[in-house]
Every structure is written in C-alpha cells, then in structure tokens.
Amino acid sequence: MRKLIFRLIILLVLVGAGYAAFRVYQALPQRTETFATAKVKQSDVIVRSFARGELRAVRSATLTAPNLFGTVQVTKLATLGALAREKDLVVEFDDAEVISRLEEKQLELDQIDEQVKKAQADLGIRDNQDQVELLRSRYGVRRAELEVKRNELISAIDAKKNQLTLEESKRRLAQLESDIKSRREQAQAELAVLREKKNKATLELNREKQRLAQVKLLAPMSGLVAVKQNRSTVMMFGMSLPDIREGDQVQPGMPVADILDLSEMEVVAKVGELDRANLTEGQEVSMRLDALPDKRFTGKIKSMSGTASANMFSSDPAKKFDVIFSIEMRQLLSALGANEAAVARILAQAEANRKKGPMAAYSGPSPEMMAAMQQGGAPGGGGMPGMGSMQGAPSGGGERGQRGERGGQGGDPEAQRKRREIITKLSNGKSMADMTAEERTELMKKVNAELAKQGIAVPEGGRGNRGGNAAPGMPQMFNVGGFMVSQKDLDGAQLPPPPEQDNQLDVLLRPGLLADVEIIVDKVPNAINVPIQAVFEKDGKQIVYVKGASRFEPREVKALKRSENVMILSSGVKPGETIALADPEAKPGDKKKKGGEKSGGAAAVLPGGKGGM
C-alpha cells in the first residue's frame, strides 16, 4: 500500500512538472509578441526641423511723443487697427501752450522791431542834426579863414583876433566831428544790441514754431496703426498697462503708435541650440498659418541671431535663437483671396516702401534741421550749409548768408557773386536784419527777376525752397529721415477712418498670427533607418534589440543622422530585420535608471553628421 501511494505521488509530481513545462513553453512566444516591433528600412529620408513663430510686418515706423517743453497731451489719436495712408494724421497733441508761447514770442519780437525802428529813426534825426551842426561849423571855419586873409589890411590886434577865431573854429570843428563819431558809434552799438535781442527773439520764435510743427505726427507710409501702451501710468501690482487714449498725458520721447507696413510680412520664431546648428540662411521652408490651416506657403530663412536669449515669463525658460523667415507674398495674398490687380498693387507698394530704407522713429520735424532751415527766413539768419535757406526770403549778410546763397545757387561762384551784387544794389545799403519779412520777400522777387534777366538760373519757388514759396519765417517743406512733410500736409492731415467704417481691402492679414514652420534640413537617399523609439543608450553605447529565433538580442549600432521620427544608422542592422520599440529586458515595475542607461531615444548629439533634428 505504501509503495502504491509513493508511486502515485511520483506520478503526480511528474505530471505537474510536465504540465508546468508545457505552460512555460506556451508562454514564451506570447511574451515575445507582446512587444511593439518595427522593420529596419532602407529608403530616402528627409531630415526636418520644426518651429512655431509669429507673423509680423517687415517694415514699421514708430511715432514718438515730441518735446513741447510743456504738457504733452494727446488730443487726437487714430483708432487701433485703422489703415492709415501715407501722410494721414495719426497723433495730434494739445498745442494751446505752444501757441500761447508763440504769441508771446511774436509780441516780444514785434516790440523789439518797434524799438529797432525807433532807434533807427532817432539815429537818422540825430545824423541830420549833426550834419547841420557840422555844416555850420565848417562854414564858421571857412569864414574865419577868409577873415584871416584880411590881416594885411587891418591892425595887428584885429589880425590876432582873426587868427585866434580861426584856431577856435577849427578846434570846434574837430571836437564836433569827434562828438558826432562817438554818438554815431554809441547809437550803432545800441542798435546792435537791439538787433541781437531781435535775433534772440527770432530764434526763440523759430523754436516755438518748430514745436508747433511737431504737434501733429503723420504716417510716413501706408500701414496698420498699432497704438502703444501708456507706460507713464502709475501701476499697481497685478495691473496691466492700458493703451494710450485721447486725453492721456505722455512723456516726451515715449512711443505712441506704430505704423505697420502690411505689404510685406515675415515670420519670427525661436529654435533650440541643436536646430540652430543645422540651419543656414537661404534654406527653403514650408509654413502653415493657424488662420489658414488648409494652406501651405513657401519661404526661406531670412536671418538668424548669433546669440541665444531666454524669456523668463514664457513657459519654456530655455535659451533659444531668433530666426526670421521670409514668406512668398504673392502666394500668401492669392490664398487670402486677392485678385491679380490687388496683388500687383500691394507688391508695388512694398517695393516703394523698400526703397525708402529703414524707418526711423518719427516725432515730427527734426529740431536741428528746422533750426537750420528757419535761419534762412529769420532776420539776420543764413542758410543751412550746402542746402540754401529753404525759405522764400533772402538770408542775412555775413558768412552764414553766403553759405545759404551757395546752397541756393548750386555752388556756382559767379552766380553767387552776381547775386550778392544785386542784393546790395537793390537793398540801398539797408541791412537784411532791419527789413521786415514783407520787405525781404519783395526784395527777393526783384533779385530773382534781375537774375532771370541776366540769364542766371533761379531755383523754382525761390532760392533753395523745395516746393514753392514758403510763408515768411516758416519752411514750406522739411525732411525727416527721408520723409518730406510740407506745411500743407500738416494743415490738411486727417485721421484715418476706424476699422468698422473702412472696407480695409489692403488689410488682408494682420500681424500677430501664429504659424508653424517646417524646415527641410537634409535629404539622405537610400539610407538605413529605424524609428527613434527603437534606439537605446546603455553604458555609453547605442543599441537596438533585434528579434532572434527565441528572443530579442541587443546589438550595437552607429547613428549617422536623425530626423523628427527616424534615426539613420551607418552600421549594426540590415534592412528587413525586426526590432523592438521597447526595452525587452526591462521588468514590469522597474524604475528608470539614472545614468548609465537611457531608453526611448538616441543621444542628443550624434557622430558623423549634424546634431539631432
């Protein structure tokens, strides 16, 4: 009985062991098949890089608040998003204080003019009186000389008296001539002081006129109006800066608005260090705007920054490089629904704006240029060297006036000499500083007419004036960074209509839209490639798990290049082999090892090619 029980136990053990072996045998292929696998391929591989950027205008002009030496308050402001044409009014500031100071300076200048006229009249009266006294004294000397000639016929005493009378008359004449000379010099000195006061008052008046001309800011080109934030507002923690509005006070030099040229756009994006090493200027890219997800546009890499920067306020604090991509505008405009005529007009506008060069910050007429131009029309002023007076009135005497004449006559010395001779002849010796603006204008007309009679070319609109006769003391046109603005443009400038009242046919696409950029880095033909997930790093070596007869075997490989989803290998595997996309040696529940082993991708920098893409 015991033997039978023992044999049954042995039989049960053998049956259980066999069954267990059978179950293990059945479980082996099932475990192997649970891993995701892929085939090693040999095909053409395109290495790409991706970036996400923002659409912006290629050219823009910033309008800044001028220095009015007083309160700078916005009274008129174009609506945000309005389409401003060239020379449209964008911002206008309160000019009450400037006009008040201008009237005070004009009144002061008029008072000095009256003082100059009174001093000149007094000098003329005194000169006439001195001439009468001088004539009388000379007549007395002549009569004494005639009496002396009778000394041979009269007594010695009378002869001595005549001699003494003659000497006294000569002394009186010499003293009178000396006194007249001294009084004239004193009067001329007083008149010179008044003239200097007049020049000073004129300069101050011109400065106020400059500030008055800076009250209106015009659009230097056609574009979209982008109103800036008011940074002079007192801020509390957690508050956002408000946009500048009508009635706000701003600081001089603070940006008020941007004019964005929408005729040519570009995309600016940030790329990482590894991507930056694979990019070069001129590379072709493919773009897709979020606003047009079903359209693709072509472009090129326009420029790249040489240094990386980080934005601490963004979700990605890593340092990245700025890359600017150009976009094919004809293709973009056509995709937006523009017809051929509209596309041609927008591209022509872009070409015209491109020729203007970079747009500088514009805050109205340049004080230095306006001061130089105002000198020509101001009493006693001269022209800007090499430019002429920029006025319809003649410039004053001296070297400054000669420099203005050289600018007005195109640098011809003979024409300058004749011009000065005609001015001296027609002015009758009267100084330019003593003439009123009307007298100077009338004199210039006569001078130009005389020059025309002699066959000397006269600049159209007056000497050195661009665009016609200017009002006395105020230039007709002035140049600001290549942007010519006339007084007529300032007077007739109007605000552009708001977006809801304008059809805005030219605003087909607005800056700030997001775009995805795909960059083709390289094309590798007939390359052996595997998915990136199939390459692992262990002990400093890159390996893949190749499926064998019964299990996956680790095999070392050499990586050549990497695209966004595949790895190009130079050796280690053959096309058609099956590889695992997960580590078959990893046990369930194992934690990722720190150092020495990395799974789920290859190393960041790969040998024998460009950085990871």
Alpha-carbon distances, residue 427 vs 118, 195, 424, 463 (angstroms): 20, 18, 5, 17
- Cα 21–Cα 22–Cα 23 angle in degrees, nearest 5: 90
Measured in whole angstroms, how far is the alpha carbon of residue 166 from the centre of its chain?
82
Angle 413-427/437-453 helices, nearest 10 degrees? 130
pLDDT recorded at residue 235: 61
Q: Which of 288, 328, 326, 287 is nearest to 304 (CA)?
A: 326
> If you ran DSSP here, which 8-state letter would residue 591 be given?
P
Side chain identity, residue 216: K
Which residues of the chain have a pLDDT value below 50?
Answer: 30-33, 360-411, 460-475, 479-482, 591-613
Q: Determine the pLDDT at residue 352.
A: 79
- Residues 469/390, Cβ–Cβ less than 8 Å: no
Supply 21's token pair.
Answer: 């072996």
User: Dihedral angle at the C-alpha atoms of 477, 479, 484, 487, nearest 10 degrees?
Assistant: -30
Calculate the alpha carbon distances from 91 to 250, 401, 505 in Å.
12, 36, 23
Task: Answer for the pair 522, 610: CB distance below 8 angstroms, yes or no.
Answer: yes
Contact of 367 with 212, CB cutoff 8 Å: no
Q: How far apart are CA 87 and CA 483, in angstroms?
A: 10
Q: Other CB atoms closer than 10 Å to residue 132's CB: what's the count?
A: 10
The pairing of strands 255-260 and 265-271 is unpaired
Q: What is the CA radius of gyration of the chain?
A: 46
Residue 183 neighbours by CB under 8 Å, 6+ apart: 126, 130
Collapsing DSSP to helix, strand or coil, 583 comes out as coil
d(CA 397, CA 447): 15
Helices 367-377, 398-408: inter-axial angle, 10-degree rounding: 100
Rounded Cα distance, 106 and 92, in Å: 23
- Whether 61 contacts 259, CB under 8 Å: yes
Q: Which of 471, 458, 448 is nearest to 392 (CA)?
A: 471
Task: Tell me the C-alpha to C-alpha distance, in Å, between residue 210 and each of 70, 203, 207, 215, 382.
Answer: 14, 10, 5, 9, 17
- Kindly give the residue spans of alpha helices, DSSP state H, lying in 34-95: none
Residue 523 has what pLDDT? 81
Taking the C-alpha atoms of residue 506 and residue 486, their distance in angstroms, rounded to an integer, is 26
Residue-level pLDDT at 74 = 92
User: How far is CA 609 from its chain centroid?
Assistant: 42
Q: Are 328 and 343 in contact (CB under 8 A)?
A: no
Three-class SS of residue 538?
Answer: strand
What is the four-CA torsion angle of 315, 317, 323, 327, rounded to 10 degrees? 0
Give me the residues paired with residue 518 across strands. Answer: 50, 286
Helices vs strands, H then E, count in the chain: 11, 23
Query: Own/partner pairs for 547-551, CB < 8 Å, 24+ apart?
Result: 547/32, 547/37, 547/577, 547/578, 547/579, 547/580, 550/28, 550/32, 551/32, 551/584
Helical H segments across 454-542, by residue range: 487-492
* Burial class for 497, CB neighbours closer than 10 Å (0-12, 13-18, 19+): middle
Count Cβ atoms below 10 Å from residue 592 Cβ, excluding itself. 9
CA-to-CA distance for 223 and 356, rounded, in angstroms?
14
3-state DSSP assignment of residue 478: strand
| 49 and 516 Cβ atoms separated by less than 8 Å | no
Amino acid at site 42: Q
Tokens representing residue 283 in the block: 């590379």
Q: Which two tokens stand for residue 480?
A: 């600001």
Q: Are 559 and 602 in contact (CB under 8 A)?
A: yes
| Separation of alpha carbons 544 and 564, rounded Å | 18
CA distance 134 to 183: 13
